[in-house]
Amino acid sequence: MFEHEIIAALQKSVKGEVRLEVPPDAKLGDFAFPCFSLAKELKKAPQVIAQDLAKSMHRPEIVREITAEGPYVNFFLDTTKVAKRVVERVFAQRKEFGASEKGKGRLAAIEFSSPNIGKPMHTGHLPSTLIGHSLGRLHEFHGYRVVRLNYLGDWGTQFGKLIHAYLTWGEKEKLEKEPVKYLVELYVKVTEESKKDLAHAEAARGWFAKLEKGDQMATGLWSKFKHYSVDEFRKMYAMLGIEFDSYNGEAYYAPKVESAIELLQKKGFAQLHDGALIVRIDGFDVPMMLKKSNGSTTYASRDVATLLDRIETIPFDVLLYCVGHEQSMHFQQLFSLMRKLGHGKNFVHVANGLYLLEGGGKMSTREGRTVFVEEVLNEAIALAKKTIEEKNPQLKRKDEVALQVAVGAIFFGGLLNDRAKDTVFDLNRFLSFEGDTGPYLMYTHARASSIITRAREFGLEPKASADFFVLKHPAEERVVKLMARFGQKTLDALNEYKPHVLAQYLIEFGRAFNEFYHACPCLSEPNEDVKRARLALIEASRQVLENGLRLLGITAPFEM
């Protein structure tokens, strides 16, 4: 938040670009400037340059002290001045504190979640869903207009499998009673039977070929399966607080595939190989397959058609694909092909790891080893409600808060670690009120809120006009300095497409606030100036927690 003032002061003494670092140890300062890049030009050792700069450069008002430590110039902020300016800004900006206009006038399109119809949403869909939702909020927070795309998996040979399975073993009564779960049972059965008898696999491929040609029976069953699935998806998204601008899936773009393939053939990019139509991409040994030898299109050809359509119909500046890392090569080829076609837009594959079952096993619908989102949510709500009954049985709106805690636990648990890494889905750990969890931060927000509520009962209102020069305790200083970094952390999370950067910052901030809460009593403080300054700092901290959690898709309750 104050880096620009230090950079401006350095630029009066240093030529070229100036970049600051945050020292690994707070004892070394709040910011540091490395002098290595100046050694060649100035013909001095970096250590000497650092000493000269520390002595000679102008000290910005916000800086208390400038020192040299080896090849680094270290800057220590004046905490009382920082407190006044940062708290005033929080009070003035409230829900917009930390926001910027980085994306003003720009559009970000984000494809995320994208479950397959004919199956309930399972926890394997959650990484993409949570990451995409958070990135959407981060982009909007920093000025972008956002279009959210749910590219449903509603086309492909798996639907030939479902149609064949239903016509072979299906029972209408079971389908109508629990449609999507019954479709999963049929899918698992046809997968197993296909291993024993290849005739089932052949029949499934035949039904998909009929579906592509518009066969009435195939299309009717497919439409019924999709209707059941989308209804369930919308219910899950409503509970998670997620909305989409488009549910156009593979089937929507399937009619556009032939024209996309014709374009690639006209450009000389597509060629036949062993009866299949492929595109060879420079740098890749494995080609991109557009059509199988039986004439059926592939998900790759549908992705080509989809992206060409989006380029034509959505005026995006950046298009994010929040999809698992196992699709990395596919997206590298897809983006390379677009560049060959002359499309230089910014395409980004935001790759994520997998959610693993406890014990490390991979989830798989076709093997019958998965956990459904509906079951997870219901269990999480029940556990959250049980905890609330134990901790605060008098709480009003228990059901509403239990849902907020359950959703917050799942979101934070899924976003805490680097998205590129696999995560063991451990609901009990996610729901804990202790440790690095969403409920811990939500409870911290509620704790801050309760202090503000009690203060108002005594006629005390938190105000930014408090005298912050009385805040001298190390715990107070730590909260202030971390608060000043909030905006930059949200930008870092946006620029890196990694919400965990913000999630881990919030854990650090929550710990600092709780340390401050225990070390520096507010309402029982006899010094009125200190009391009012601490009250303002508590309210500012509450706002930072609310803003940060909201950007991760989490509602921060005022009572728990």
Pick from 391, 405, 415, 233: which is nearest to 322 by CA? Answer: 415
pLDDT digits (tens, 9 = 90+) for 452-503: 999 999 999 999 999 999 999 999 999 999 999 999 999 999 999 999 999 9
pLDDT digits (tens, 9 = 90+) for 390-436: 989 999 999 999 999 999 999 999 999 999 999 888 889 999 999 99
pLDDT at 229 over 80: yes
Question: Binning pLDDT at 50, 70 and 90, where does residue 356 land?
Answer: confident
What pTM does this model have? 0.92
**CB-based burial label for 262 (10 Å; 0-12, 13-18, 19+):** exposed
CATH number of 109-356: 3.40.50.620
pLDDT at 160 over 90: yes
pLDDT digits (tens, 9 = 90+) for 178-212: 999 899 899 999 999 999 999 999 999 999 989 98
Joined tokens for residue 557:
């309750």
Calpha distance 396→381 (Å, rounded) = 16
Q: Which residue has the tokens 């995409």?
A: 132
Calpha distance 467→452 (Å, rounded) = 18
Helix axes 438-457, 500-519, angle to 10 degrees: 40
pLDDT digits (tens, 9 = 90+) for 527-539: 999 999 999 999 9
Please, are residues 351 and 325 in contact by the beta-carbon 8 Å criterion? Answer: yes
Domain 3-77 sits in which CATH superfamily? Arginyl tRNA synthetase N-terminal domain (3.30.1360.70)
Position 366 scores a pLDDT of 46
pLDDT at 265 over 80: yes
Average pLDDT along the chain: 94
pLDDT digits (tens, 9 = 90+) for 88-136: 999 999 999 999 999 999 999 999 999 999 888 888 899 999 999 999 9
pLDDT at 364 over 60: no
Calpha distance 119→444 (Å, rounded) = 37
Position 296 scores a pLDDT of 78
Q: Assess whether the region 3-77 and the region 373-551 belong to the same CATH fold.
A: no
Query: What are the domain boundaries of the chain?
Result: 3-77, 109-356, 373-551
Position 365 scores a pLDDT of 46
Domain 373-551 sits in which CATH superfamily? Isoleucyl-tRNA Synthetase; Domain 1 (1.10.730.10)
Number of H helices, E strands in the chain: 22, 12
Alpha helices (H) along 57-178: 79-93, 126-141, 157-169, 172-177
- The H-or-E segment that residue 383 falls in is helix 373-391
| Beta pairing, strands 276-279 & 270-273 | antiparallel
Across the beta sheet with 318-324, the strand order is 145-149, 107-111, 318-324, 346-352
pLDDT at 31 over 70: yes
Residue 423, strand partner residues: 355
